[in-house]
Structure 1
Amino acid sequence: MRQATMTIHLRADRALFRFSGPDAHKLLNDVVTGHIPAAGDGAGEAAAAWALLSPQGKILAEGLAGHAPDGIWLDVHQSVADDFFKRMKMYRLRAQVVIDDLRETHRVGFAPDATPGLIHHSDRLGPQAIGFRVIAPVEATADWVQSDAAYQSARIAAGIAHQGNDFPANDAFAHDIGLDILDGIDFAKGCYVGQEVVSRMKHRGTARRRPVVVRGVTAPAGTPVLAGEREAGTIGQVVDGMAVAIVRLDRITDPSAVTVGGQPVAINLPTWASYAFGEASAED
């Protein structure tokens, strides 16, 4: 049973879906970018990062996927939940898969530590770990902290960009948010929706936008990041003066000369980044 002292923070902007049935694993692996594990019990093993792409390679939905004894649980931002549900039912076709919309019955939470007694998966993206994703029925969440500020602060400091918080649907490529580095793309498996674009960006080195961490922010989300007088990107959700921005690396040749909303800011690469400021893509 979960200890009374365990702190779990409600992530109210996440929507849950459960995929079950003999073809559930195959369906997900055939459609999304990530490598979905074949088994798991929801007792702390790592969740899989993934994205559902348009045929043009833009992110339509993204989140984590993790097993529990009764299926595979995926979470997405509430803003794309209806579209995600509709698309996955379309891709299901005749496969033996049940897709349950759990937005009314279950909630997603964040815990710094493991939560025995509840479904929980390690929120680990490549080398970057951010506590645990917790899943519980609504009635079991009354004592959760009703704010996700702790989670948002942790993932922003780590340079993890989230759809809905930092960029809208059909706006960013998987490489733009670092999924190729954060184990959110399985480059060894067969085709999935948008796979040709992802593969081309990898092999041609054409990824020109990447996530960075911006500190000292006083402007709201959506404010442009300026490198001198030139716009390099925009900031996402702001928490405690920090934000993730998806920027054109080639436009930031002097990180000390970056401003947001007319104010100087500190801009840094995430610790997991394999890219650098000033880099130009192979097509530039």
Structure 2
Amino acid sequence: MTIEKRVDRVTFKISGPDATHLLHDVLTPPVLEDGEARWFALLAPQGKLLAEGLIGWADGAHWLDVPAAVTENFFKRMKMYRLRAKMDIEMLAETHAVGWSADAPETGIVHRDGRGEGLGYRVIAALADAEDWAEGTGQAKARIAAGIAEMGPDFATEEVFPHDIGMDHLGGVDFKKGCYVGQEVVSRMQHRGTARRRPVIVSGIVAGARGDAVVIGGKSVGTLGGVVGGTSVAIARIDKITHGSAASVAGAPVSLALPQWARYDFATPGGDSEDD
């Protein structure tokens, strides 16, 4: 069984009697000790993402992965939020590797990515057990096909709100629990229905790259994330796109589609889109 090594992700292990309560109060999703992996974000007070990844419970601890580029800031902020809580925060960049597998392996800390079908499994293992892992594009292809944007390949820190990448539709935000960092802004977007930037799958890309504009009628309606195999997840203004819109990237035509999980739609000709 092949496991892809994800050199752009770093593992955190957070444990202790107060860990679940504190993480539930700081991160965006429900944080439970049920073994299920959930999409999480740590937000700035203004509501934009500082870090994101999967969080899952195993062996008496919460296991998180975050983009390598934000590791130090995430570590610093989590230690600040800890205060006097009885919990341990371990950054495992020097001892563990993060991997991905299409099927469930029999080694390591394994959590299924439940955000969509075919997204495989996140694997965390000691470096000695990950020596034969190699980099690949399987995880990126599966993620893009599902219409899921990721910090690093698709957007930078403090660049998007949770709604912009569909976290509100994929279990990454809990709107019923109490306050967490950035909660006021995110809740306001939810209740007012003001989210208009959403993930859109772009295919048929022949010359585009991350950061290029998706153009309709001579105007930019969104920005490409990383391109793999001619496809990408763009964060786009769905109220500026109608079904059948002729879109292009770098002057070449492309096709636009909504993720299967999306409860939003493109705009109707002559009207505005609706987002439930």
Same fold, TM-score > 0.5, yes or no? yes
What is the CA–CA distance in structure 1 between the aligned matches of 2:235 and 2:166, rounded to whole Å?
A: 10
Give the alignment partner of residue 75 of structure 1, picking from 62, 65, 72: 65
Residues 176 and 246, structure 1, Cα contact 8 Å, conserved in 2: yes
Give the secondary structure class of the aligned counterpart of 1:265: strand
What is the CA–CA distance in structure 1 between the aligned matches of 2:143 and 2:38, rounded to whole Å?
A: 16
Q: Is 1:246 paired with 2:235?
A: yes
Q: Is 1:19 paired with 2:14?
A: yes
Give the secondary structure class of the aligned counterpart of 2:69: helix
What is the CA–CA distance in structure 1 between the aligned matches of 2:244 and 2:67, rounded to whole Å?
A: 31
Query: Residue in 2 aligned with 1:224?
Result: 213
What is the CA–CA distance in structure 2 between the aligned matches of 1:90 and 1:232, rounded to whole Å?
A: 38
Query: Residue in 2 aligned with 1:3?
Result: none
Q: What is the CA RMSD across the aligned residues, in angstroms?
A: 1.6
Query: Residue in 1 aligned with 2:256?
Result: 267
Residues 14 and 77, structure 1, Cα contact 8 Å, conserved in 2: yes
Distance change in 2, residues 1:37/1:237 (3 Å): same
What is the CA–CA distance in structure 1 between the aligned matches of 2:33 and 2:57, rounded to whole Å?
A: 8
Structure 2 unpaired stretches of 5+: none
In the TM superposition, residue 180 of structure 1 has moved relative to its aligned partner by 0.6
Q: Is 1:197 paired with 2:192?
A: no
Residues 213 and 270, structure 1, Cα contact 8 Å, conserved in 2: yes
Query: Residue in 1 aligned with 2:148?
Result: 160
Residues 27 and 180, structure 2, Cα contact 8 Å, conserved in 1: yes
Query: Residue in 2 aligned with 1:214?
Result: 202
TM-score (norm 1): 0.92
Query: Residue in 2 aligned with 1:141?
Result: 130
Give the alignment partner of residue 115 of structure 1, picking from 99, 105, 130: 105
In the TM superposition, residue 128 of structure 1 has moved relative to its aligned partner by 4.1
Residues 12 and 148, structure 1, Cα contact 8 Å, conserved in 2: no
Residues 61 and 76, structure 1, Cα contact 8 Å, conserved in 2: yes
Query: Residue in 2 aligned with 1:59?
Result: 49
- Which string of whole-angstrom CA distances, capped at 9 and with x for unpartnered residues, describes residues 80-103 of structure 1? 111111111111111011100101
In the TM superposition, residue 142 of structure 1 has moved relative to its aligned partner by 1.5
Q: What is the identity, as a one-letter code, of the residue corresponding to 1:22?
A: P
Q: What is the identity, as a one-letter code, of the residue corresponding to 1:183?
A: G
* Higher mean C-alpha deviation, range 248-257 or range 270-279: 248-257
Give the secondary structure class of the aligned counterpart of 1:25: helix
- Which string of whole-angstrom CA distances, capped at 9 and with x for unpartnered residues, describes residues 206-260 of structure 1? 0010001101112111101111111111101110011000001111125441111
What is the CA–CA distance in structure 2 between the aligned matches of 1:148 and 1:30, rounded to whole Å?
A: 35
Residues 207 and 281, structure 1, Cα contact 8 Å, conserved in 2: no
Residues 11 and 110, structure 1, Cα contact 8 Å, conserved in 2: yes
Distance change in 2, residues 1:255/1:150 (3 Å): same
Query: Residue in 2 aligned with 1:131?
Result: 120
Structure 1 unpaired stretches of 5+: 1-5, 41-45
Distance change in 2, residues 1:181/1:129 (3 Å): farther
What is the CA–CA distance in structure 2 between the aligned matches of 1:253 and 1:223, rounded to whole Å?
A: 20
Residues 128 and 182, structure 1, Cα contact 8 Å, conserved in 2: no
Residues 159 and 211, structure 1, Cα contact 8 Å, conserved in 2: yes
In the TM superposition, residue 7 of structure 1 has moved relative to its aligned partner by 1.3
Query: Residue in 2 aligned with 1:97?
Result: 87
What is the CA–CA distance in structure 2 between the aligned matches of 1:107 and 1:255, rounded to whole Å?
A: 43
In the TM superposition, residue 187 of structure 1 has moved relative to its aligned partner by 1.2
In the TM superposition, residue 148 of structure 1 has moved relative to its aligned partner by 3.1
Q: Equivalent pairs: percent with the same residue?
A: 53
What is the CA–CA distance in structure 2 between the aligned matches of 1:260 and 1:34, rounded to whole Å?
A: 34
What is the CA–CA distance in structure 2 between the aligned matches of 1:223 and 1:48, rounded to whole Å?
A: 30
Residues 118 and 142, structure 2, Cα contact 8 Å, conserved in 1: no
Residues 267 and 273, structure 2, Cα contact 8 Å, conserved in 1: no
